[in-house]
């Protein structure tokens, strides 16, 4: 029996409920009256507190995902864009992954790091090498990283992860500094999550891969990750350990996408019901070609149109949650989904261990890559591209640094008030990037964008302070924190 308040994985991700949901959605996919009602329920509304959204249940959202009516799908996309603008404006947060180690004891059949892959080189960064990687990322202009490591208690113990985090935060190079380290490592204990919290991490990210228990166990035939319940209940342990920003995700292509979609939203409902706050972010990776991995072996792949529809439906269902698309996706695909709900993207990414230091922007080491990167443009090119599309590339980490995390962030986001913080901070951090790292073409475009965007800040005090800080950056003054 589906129980979002249960702490048991097989109760808050209830297989029978998902099957009933998919059956209900299939039967109602052409029910225009019902779909119109669902869309109306999800529409943003002005209240005394600000702009608010009701969101949708996993069953309601699944009806939208099943809908085949082109007119209703168009309305769906329009609503997703309206919700995205209401809470995230035209800002896109930038980040990059940093791979620490590809040693792994698991046998995940979709990942080249599985321990039966004997021809991929195994590598683990020393702390000195971590520092070099960080400097290379700072020289690109990055302020926010997501660290990645395989699961290996001998080679990648929690102590190693903590040392790497401390090293990352300690590196100050020219005007560069990494201000937020998000962590994507294997499910662990409450005690270890407390250690990560004490180390000052941002978001703890863990992809479920698939919510289908039988498929999960087949795809993870051996190793600690084989334990479905331990993996699925990791976010509860992370929150019990004091981490209030967690990031969900599934690897689309492993199972039927409608099943994964329902399970993902049920997980979000569970976190909200038990901890009072849902996921800070949701990622939507698709399986990609990699060493020893052929994605065509998995017969549940989805095309770009279906991918866009999934993103729009997630945005409508969980309006306040950040959504992430990485460089797994091509420029064309990322362009298509930005308006439908995406609020964070990576740029200039390398998915290999030690892939940044010592390489030019054009050079890409492939020997330890976790997956092929589709969008291989530099960070400067991605920033310029976003501005050409009318977006503000943001390197802001103010919420994390000022304690606006978990329910404190959501309370501001759920009324639309977060924009009073995020819009000015986005412009200030973009100005930093333009002054320190941008090409002349990117800088010229960005200066024009900032001038126009400053005029749109409705709060006079915020507009004045943002203008003052931006002038200080231009004059070389960096005596303020974002």
Q: Where are the domains of the chain?
A: 86-411, 414-474
Q: Under CATH, which number does the domain 86-411 receive?
A: 3.20.20.70
Phi, psi of 146 (to 5 degrees): -120, 110
CA distance 26 to 28: 5
Helix H or strand E encompassing 93: strand 91-101
| Helices first, then strands: H and E counts in the chain | 20, 13
Per-residue pLDDT, averaged over 318-331, amounts to: 94
Specify whether the CB–CB gap between 253 and 295 falls below 8 A: yes
| Mean pLDDT estimate for the chain | 92
Per-residue pLDDT, averaged over 10-21, amounts to: 98
Q: Is the pLDDT of residue 475 over 60?
A: yes
DSSP 224: G
SS3 205: strand
Q: Is the pLDDT of residue 482 over 60?
A: no
Q: Encoding tokens for residue 141?
A: 């202009």
Q: Is the pLDDT of residue 294 over 80?
A: no
pLDDT of residue 367: 75
Q: Is the pLDDT of residue 9 over 90?
A: yes
Per-residue pLDDT, averaged over 438-453, amounts to: 97
Query: 237-273 burial, b if ≥16 CB within 10 A, otherwise e?
Result: bbbebebbbbbbbbbbbbbbbbbbbbbbbbbbbbbbe
List, in order, residues 6 or more apart from 378 with CB less than 8 Å away: 140, 347, 348, 361
* pLDDT confidence bin for 51, thresholds 50/70/90: confident
- Alpha carbon separation from 70 to 297, 309, 315 (Å, rounded): 31, 12, 19
pLDDT of residue 462: 85
CA distance 124 to 2: 42
Q: How far is CA 81 from the centre of its chain?
A: 18
According to DSSP, the β-strands at 45-47 and 50-52 are: antiparallel
Q: Is the pLDDT of residue 79 over 90?
A: yes
According to DSSP, the β-strands at 392-394 and 91-101 are: parallel
pLDDT of residue 300: 87
pLDDT of residue 480: 53
Per-residue pLDDT, averaged over 97-123, amounts to: 92
pLDDT of residue 413: 65
CA distance 149 to 343: 24
Per-residue pLDDT, averaged over 476-480, amounts to: 68
pLDDT of residue 31: 98
């Amino acid at each position: 029996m589906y129980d979002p308040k249960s702490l048991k994985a097989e109760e808050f991700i209830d297989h029978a409920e998902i099957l009933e949901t998919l059956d209900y959605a299939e039967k109602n996919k052409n029910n225009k009256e019902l779909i119109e009602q669902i869309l109306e329920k999800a529409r943003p509304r002005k209240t005394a507190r600000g702009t608010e959204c009701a969101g949708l249940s996993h069953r309601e959202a699944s009806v939208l995902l099943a809908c085949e009516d082109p007119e209703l799908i168009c309305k769906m996309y329009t609503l997703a864009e309206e919700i995205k603008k209401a809470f995230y404006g035209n800002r896109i947060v930038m980040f990059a992954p940093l791979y620490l180690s590809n040693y792994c004891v698991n046998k995940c059949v979709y990942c080249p790091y599985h321990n039966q892959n004997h021809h991929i080189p195994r590598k683990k960064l020393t702390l000195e090498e971590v520092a070099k990687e960080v400097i290379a990322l700072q020289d690109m202009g990055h302020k926010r990283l997501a660290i990645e490591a395989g699961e290996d208690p001998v080679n990648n113990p929690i102590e190693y992860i903590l040392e790497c985090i401390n090293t990352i935060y300690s590196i100050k190079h020219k005007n560069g500094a990494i201000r937020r380290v998000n962590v994507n490592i294997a499910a662990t204990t409450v005690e270890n999550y407390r250690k990560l919290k004490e180390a000052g991490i941002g978001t703890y990210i863990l992809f479920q891969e698939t919510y289908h228990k039988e498929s999960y166990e087949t795809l993870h035939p051996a190793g600690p990750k084989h334990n479905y319940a331990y993996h699925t209940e990791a976010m509860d342990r992370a929150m019990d350990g004091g981490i209030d920003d967690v990031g969900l995700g599934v690897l689309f292509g492993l199972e039927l996408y409608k099943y994964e979609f329902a399970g993902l939203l049920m997980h979000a409902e569970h976190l909200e019901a038990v901890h009072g706050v849902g996921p800070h972010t949701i990622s939507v990776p698709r399986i990609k070609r990699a060493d020893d991995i052929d994605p065509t072996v998995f017969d549940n792949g989805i095309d770009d149109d279906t991918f866009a529809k999934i993103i729009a439906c997630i945005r409508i269902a969980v309006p306040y949650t950040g959504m992430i698309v990485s460089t797994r996706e091509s420029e064309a695909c990322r362009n298509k989904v930005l308006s439908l709900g995406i609020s964070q993207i990576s740029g200039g990414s390398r998915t290999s261990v030690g892939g940044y230091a010592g390489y030019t922007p054009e050079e890409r080491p492939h020997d330890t890559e976790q997956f092929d990167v589709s969008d291989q443009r530099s960070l400067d090119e991605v920033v310029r591209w976003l501005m050409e599309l009318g977006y503000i590339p943001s390197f802001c980490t103010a919420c994390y640094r000022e304690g606006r995390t978990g329910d404190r962030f959501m309370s501001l986001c759920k009324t639309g008030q977060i924009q009073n913080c995020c819009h000015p901070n986005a412009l200030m951090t973009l100005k930093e990037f333009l002054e320190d790292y941008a090409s002349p073409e990117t800088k010229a475009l960005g200066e024009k964008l900032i001038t126009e965007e400053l005029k749109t800040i409705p709060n006079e005090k915020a507009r004045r302070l943002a203008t003052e800080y931006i002038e200080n950056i231009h004059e070389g003054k960096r005596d303020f924190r974002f």
